[in-house]
Structure 1
Amino acid sequence: MDLGITAKRALVIGGSSGLGFAAAKALAAEGVHLALFARSPGPLATAKEGLVQYPGVEIETLAGDITHRADVVELAGRLRESGGVDILILNTPRPPSPMREFLDEDDDERWSSAYRNQLQGALNVLREITPLIIGKGWGRIVGITSASVKQPMPRHAISTIFRSGVQAALKHLSLEIAEHGVTVNSIAPATIMTPTFAQFHNLEDRVAATPLKRFGTLEEFGGTVAFLASQQSGFLTGQVIQLDGGRTAALV
């Protein structure tokens, strides 16, 4: 199926690895030109090399930190000069490790770090990049949050609190900019197997808690991103897509 986004331009935050790179790869397969933004030039260069298999796709890499407003302002300026943005994939860093219950989170620096990385950084991106998308009269914003925004998971206190804040911002934004032809949705994943997933979780427990009794793949995640970025998803906005193998038991 042709998703109708060939030659569109996408910005992928955190696009050098993991879920961000999976999103970039899925969009490149649809002929979408990419700007990958992450903190370190080295992984960005590696990611770019991993996307050369898609002929005709333009790939730009930009290093910076979403928690620094000045970096995001500079990013927006460079994108404005190079053709703007049609699609934004908003992927933020992991919460501090190890994960803890709420009453065990007594370290103020962990809270501050998570706030900067997961919420403040996301707000910086949305405030600076959304105007570039609105100006085109068509666009897609896809946030990557967590299944815990619908059903809190044990030892995910910090992640749940700040990613729920991102989810609230996306919902507000979806209502404010719908008239411009821009949709805003999010993917709330759980148990997606990334190269670093096994470092932070008990794999057997995660599979046992998942009704499908397996991990989700990066290809399945990327396919979901591509659909939400597509022409076919044009009447879908303000929604949370639970990509969790059935783990979330909430009715809505």
Structure 2
Amino acid sequence: MKTLNLTGTGLRCLIVGAASGIGEATARRLGSNGHRVIGADLPSSRWPVSGSTYSQLDMDITDNQSVQAVVAEVVARLGGLDVVVNTAGILGKIQPSSEESVEEFDLLLRVNLTGAFALSKAVLPVMAENGFGRLIHFSSTAGKEGVQGMTGYSASKAGIIGLVKALAKEYAAAGITINAIAPGKIDTPLLNGKAPTAEDLQKIPMRRLGTAEEAAALVEFIASPGASYTTGFVFDLSGGRAVY
């Protein structure tokens, strides 16, 4: 089995949702540590304009052909794939389930869950052929606990947990670990610039939001030798908010 040292080894990495937030922080961190990183995000995304440590490609995770084309392009450029991190996702509206349309619910599933499956399906055979891989999907505390007014989002993120646990068992003997990260409130553009309320902070034992950089550091650990015997697991990133 291939061994992994995250210091200057030039690992071949694909970060999906890399234009901003946790994805951008992860791509920047891995790129700064000497790895070969390609970031992918929507064609409409506004990428950082300076100091980039990674290449950029357009990808729509709801379009399976786009996913397959980008994965093929990354493999062609890098000669394979070692680490794939999927941070792509949308929140949707906060509204009662009785007001959430089937179309809104379906969009949340297509972006947050079906897209994750399409990406997994595209990259896992590449990793299996190489006998090594680290696949990391982002779920949410909403997927573990459910959030009132966010039925579609909660369901889509719960689906990520089931997806990861099933795939992890399937590929465990192939030298691939597949894990999820479940953030609570993280200070990223996904919050749309809304400052946390006192009530929000009261629910977090650490009394603060998490940062994209802390998420990137956790990604780096999951891809490291220190986590090589952990697969099918959901890593908490909630400042102590999660109850299990």
The TM-score, its normalising length taken from structure 1, stands at 0.88
Q: Identity of paired residues, percent? A: 27
Find the aligned partners of 2:14 and 2:8 in 1 and give their Cα distance: 14
Q: Matches of residues 1-252 of structure 1 in structure 2 within 5 Å? A: 3-4=6-7, 6-40=9-43, 43-44=46-47, 46=48, 49-52=50-53, 59-82=54-77, 83-96=79-92, 98-105=93-100, 107-197=101-191, 199=193, 202-250=196-244
Q: Secondary structure at the match of 1:191?
A: coil
Q: Secondary structure at the match of 2:166?
A: helix
Paired residues, number: 239
Q: Deviations over 1:138-183 (max 9, x none)?
A: 1111111101222122322111101111221111110011111110
Q: Secondary structure at the match of 1:124?
A: helix
Q: Where in structure 2 are there 5+ consecutive unaligned residues?
A: none
Q: Does the C-alpha gap of structure 1 residues 145 and 218 become closer, same or farther in structure 2, counting only changes over 3 Å?
A: same
The TM-score, its normalising length taken from structure 2, stands at 0.90
Deviation at 1:244, TM superposition (A): 0.2
Find the aligned partners of 2:233 and 2:127 in 1 and give their Cα distance: 19
Find the aligned partners of 1:190 and 1:147 in 2 and give their Cα distance: 5
Q: Deviations over 1:88-138 (max 9, x none)?
A: 101122121x31233332x12211211211111111111111111111111
Find the aligned partners of 1:79 and 1:131 in 2 and give their Cα distance: 14
Number of the residue aligned with 1:56:
none
Deviation at 1:42, TM superposition (A): 5.5
Q: Where in structure 1 are there 5+ consecutive unaligned residues?
A: 53-58
Q: Secondary structure at the match of 2:130?
A: coil
Contact 1:6 1:31 in 2 (8 A): yes
Question: Root-mean-square deviation (CA), in Å?
Answer: 1.9
Q: Does the C-alpha gap of structure 1 residues 5 and 150 become closer, same or farther in structure 2, counting only changes over 3 Å?
A: farther
